[in-house]
């Protein structure tokens, strides 16, 4: 998918013709469903929410993964994560699981069906984070963009950050990982196992409701 046809770019830019949530809610007045944004990042609701409040932290520019970001954006990235976790905790309680299925720096494989860098923030209530960590060759690191880039080494990767602040990355060479692997894992524990595949089970109403609740608590707009 190119930037010209990317649904995430369309939603971030406020383009009804390229905003998939808007297209799935025909006949309704268009609204730009962006919850928080900074110069380099935007937060949008997940079209396939695994739990209430599931949102995506996206790079504003059309890039393949967070590992491809400029390390100079690290302070802004950390600020956005902190702010987003804070609001989600106030709204939903519990902890927030953060994960990304990052694309390799080269090649046509799109493991999570979207080639625009996005990180999942999933509010967890009554779900153990430990139960959501698959048995993979995880390596712990400081969570910075520079370290993510270095440890990914240009390969496809899975990134996971738990409420205790521990960041993990796993790579698997050319073999890669099962498409939407983390969505499957979380869905199995959240009771949404039938909705793990967002393309087959999109829920635009839930996405809109998450946006409405978020902006009612934290008015949308630039935070940097």
**Is residue 36 domain-resident?**
yes
**Is residue 146 domain-resident?**
yes
pLDDT band at 196 (very low <50, low <70, confident <90, very high): confident
| Position 210 pLDDT exceeds 90 | yes
pLDDT digits (tens, 9 = 90+) for 71-124: 999 999 999 999 999 999 999 999 999 999 999 887 676 666 678 999 999 999
CB of 148 closer than 8 Å to CB of 67 = yes
pLDDT digits (tens, 9 = 90+) for 126-163: 888 889 999 999 999 999 999 999 999 999 999 999 99
**Is residue 17 domain-resident?**
yes
Give DSSP secondary structure letters for 85-113: HHHHHHHH-SEEEEEEEEPPSSSS--TTS
Q: How far apart are CA 81 and CA 50, in angstroms?
A: 19
Return the pLDDT at 174. Answer: 77
**Is residue 223 domain-resident?**
no
CATH number at residue 113: 3.30.428.10
pLDDT digits (tens, 9 = 90+) for 41-53: 999 999 999 999 9
The partner residues of 41 in beta bridges, in order of sequence, read 59
Boundaries of domain holding 87: 3-217
Question: How many domains does the chain fold into?
Answer: 1
**φ, ψ for residue 91 (rounded to 5)?**
-80, -40
Q: Which pTM value belongs to this model?
A: 0.93
| Position 219 pLDDT exceeds 80 | no
């Amino acid at each position: 998918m190119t930037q010209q046809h990317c649904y995430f770019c369309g939603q971030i830019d406020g383009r009804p013709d390229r905003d998939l949530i808007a297209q799935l809610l025909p006949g309704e007045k268009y609204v730009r469903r962006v919850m928080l944004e900074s110069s380099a990042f935007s937060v949008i609701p997940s079209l396939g929410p695994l739990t209430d409040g599931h949102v995506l932290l996206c790079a504003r520019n059309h890039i393949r993964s967070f590992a491809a970001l400029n390390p100079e954006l690290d302070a802004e990235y950390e600020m956005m994560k902190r702010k987003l976790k804070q609001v989600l905790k106030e709204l939903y309680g519990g902890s927030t699981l953060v994960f990304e299925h990052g694309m390799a720096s080269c090649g046509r494989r799109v493991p999570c069906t979207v080639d625009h860098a996005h990180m999942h923030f999933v509010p967890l209530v009554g779900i153990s984070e430990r139960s959501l960590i698959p048995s993979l060759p995880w390596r712990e690191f400081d969570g910075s963009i520079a370290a993510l880039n270095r440890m990914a080494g240009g390969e496809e990767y899975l990134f996971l950050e738990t409420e205790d602040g521990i960041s993990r990355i796993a790579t698997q060479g050319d073999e890669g990982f099962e498409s939407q692997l983390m969505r499957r894992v979380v869905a199995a524990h959240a009771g949404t196992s039938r909705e793990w595949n967002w393309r087959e089970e999109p829920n635009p109403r839930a996405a809109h409701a998450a946006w409405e609740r978020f902006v009612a608590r934290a008015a949308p707009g630039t935070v940097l």
